[in-house]
Amino acid sequence: MARREWVFTIRLKQARERKDLSQRRLGILMGIHEDSASSRINQYEHGKHEPDYGTVQRLAEVLEVPTAYFYAENDLIAELILHLDSVSDSQKRKLLRALTVDKAASK
């Protein structure tokens, strides 16, 4: 399994468990027929099948996480993505400016 797929499987399971959803319930909320909902999500979580980008977007919507979260290879960056998603654009711009100033000052 490629590194990107491995990261996706971990992030998907983390996001699902954070929302306290079963694999079956997540699949149903995404619009997957209840007879195959659990097995489909299980296949995604185990890397047997890789969802297309539209499916990843639906997963993100149902799990209330940014799509980028699923592809963050670093745990700290994944957590930052989750936190950044919850702040206003104004706050994001302030953080970006602060990071840019810190980076320039450290050169």
- What total number of domains does the chain contain? 1
Give the per-residue pLDDT at 99: 87
Amino acid at 19: K
Give the per-residue pLDDT at 5: 59
* pLDDT 10s digits, 20-58: 999 999 999 999 999 999 999 999 999 999 999 999 999
Structural domain range at position 73? 3-105
Return d(Cα 65, Cα 54) in angstroms, integer. 14
Return d(Cα 97, Cα 105) in angstroms, integer. 12
Structure-token pair, residue 96: 């970006």
The answer, yes or no, to whether residue 102 has pLDDT greater than 70, is no
Farthest-apart Cα atoms in the chain, separation: 57
- CATH at residue 17: 1.10.260.40
For the whole model, what pTM was predicted? Answer: 0.85
* Residue the block writes with tokens 């930052």: 80
Structure-token pair, residue 63: 């799990």
Structure-token pair, residue 82: 């989750």
* Residue the block writes with tokens 């296949």: 43
Structure-token pair, residue 89: 């654009």
